[in-house]
C-alpha cells in the first residue's frame, strides 16, 4: 500500500502535480487519486512506473513510499 503522505511529499519535492503524475502513468487523474488514497488497487507495473516517475533509486526510498522494496 502506498504511503500517501510520503508520495505526496516526494511529488512536491520534485515539483510534480497529480495531473502530471497521472499522465505519466497513463491513467486519468481521478484514477490516480483513488490509487493514491487506497480506494483502488495499484498493480505492480503501476508501482514500477511510479518509482520511475518519482525517481526512487534506493530500497530505502521504495520502502518509505510503498512499504516494500520494489527496485
Domain harbouring 11, CATH code? 1.10.260.40
- Measured CA to CA, the distance from residue 33 to residue 61 in angstroms comes to 21
In a domain, 62, yes or no: yes
- Measured CA to CA, the distance from residue 65 to residue 7 in angstroms comes to 6
In a domain, 23, yes or no: yes
Query: For the chain, how many structural domains are there in total?
Result: 1
**pLDDT averaged per 10 residues, the chain (length 71):** 92 98 98 95 93 92 81 53
Q: What is the structure's pLDDT at 70?
A: 61
In a domain, 59, yes or no: yes
Domain extent for 16: 4-66
In a domain, 71, yes or no: no
What is the CA angle 20-26-32, rounded to 5?
A: 65
Q: What is the pTM of this model?
A: 0.87
In a domain, 45, yes or no: yes
Q: What is the structure's pLDDT at 68?
A: 73
Contacts of 55 (CB under 8 A, 6+ apart): 14
Amino acid at each position: 500500500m502506498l504511503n500517501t503522505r510520503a508520495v505526496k511529499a516526494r511529488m512536491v519535492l520534485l515539483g510534480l502535480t497529480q495531473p502530471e503524475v497521472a499522465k505519466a502513468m497513463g491513467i486519468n487523474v481521478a484514477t490516480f487519486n483513488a490509487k493514491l488514497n487506497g480506494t483502488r488497487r495499484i498493480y505492480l507495473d503501476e508501482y514500477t512506473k511510479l518509482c520511475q516517475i518519482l525517481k526512487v533509486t534506493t530500497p530505502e526510498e521504495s520502502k518509505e513510499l510503498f512499504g516494500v522494496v520494489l527496485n
